[in-house]
């Protein structure tokens, strides 16, 4: 694919790529921005080349996923070399008092879903994100994840069941 055409196609995928980078980086916007920038750099520098064996979106999502994994491994290695460093605690969102509104209810539901997704195994979380948020097929998700379609389908089925169970547990404890 020609450089200028590739750049236009990647630009059209930017919003979806950003969402996928967030998912690959545990919803950390800073890490997602770094991973996405590195993925774009790999493409522009020719370190990652589109061969046409899959759809462009599928290929680029694979580049993002692998870049995010490399980034995580790099952070883990760094933390192992500096074990005395404190890790920042997640800040809890401020809650408002008063009459609940629909926006608050939606935010609470989104928070429950986010907590449940975070408790899934990484592969289950990845395949569910790709299928539901990115509207990809399980076959495309398998390609991005670097697993067989049977494995992706198994992670998909188990992920849906586990998510259903976790959301049921979360609703019973709220």
Q: What is the CA radius of gyration of the chain?
A: 18
Question: What DSSP designation does 49 have?
Answer: -
Domain housing 156: 108-174
Looking at the 3D structure of the chain, how many domains does it have?
2
Q: CATH number for the domain including 144?
A: 1.10.10.10
Chain-centre distance for alpha carbon 149: 19
Quick one: CA torsion of 20, 73, 116, 162, rounded to 10 degrees? 100
Per-residue exposure over 46-70, b if at least 16 CB sit within 10 Å of its own CB, e if not: eebebeeebeebbbbbbbbbbbbee
Does 148 map to a domain? yes
pTM tops 0.75? no
Question: What is the pLDDT at residue 87?
Answer: 46
6 plus 77 within the same structural domain: yes
Residue where one domain finishes, among candidates 14, 48, 83: 83
The pLDDT tens digits of the residues spanning 1-42 come to 677 888 899 999 999 999 999 999 988 999 999 999 999 999
């Amino acid at each position: 694919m020609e450089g200028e055409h590739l750049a236009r196609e990647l630009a059209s995928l930017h919003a979806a790529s950003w969402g996928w980078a967030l998912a690959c980086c545990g919803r950390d916007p800073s890490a997602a921005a770094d991973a996405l920038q590195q993925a774009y750099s790999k493409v522009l520098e020719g370190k990652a080349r589109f061969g046409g064996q899959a759809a462009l979106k599928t290929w680029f999502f694979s580049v993002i996923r692998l870049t995010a994994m490399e980034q995580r491994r790099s952070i883990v290695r760094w933390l192992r070399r500096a074990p005395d460093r404190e890790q920042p605690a997640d800040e809890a969102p401020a809650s408002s008092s008063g009459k609940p509104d629909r926006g608050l209810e939606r935010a609470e539901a989104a928070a429950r879903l986010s907590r449940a997704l975070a408790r899934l195994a990484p592969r289950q979380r990845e395949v569910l994100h790709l299928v539901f948020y990115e509207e990809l097929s399980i076959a495309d998700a398998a390609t991005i994840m670097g697993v067989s379609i049977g494995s992706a389908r198994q992670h998909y089925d188990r992920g849906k069941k586990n998510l259903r169970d976790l959301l049921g547990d979360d609703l019973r404890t709220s």
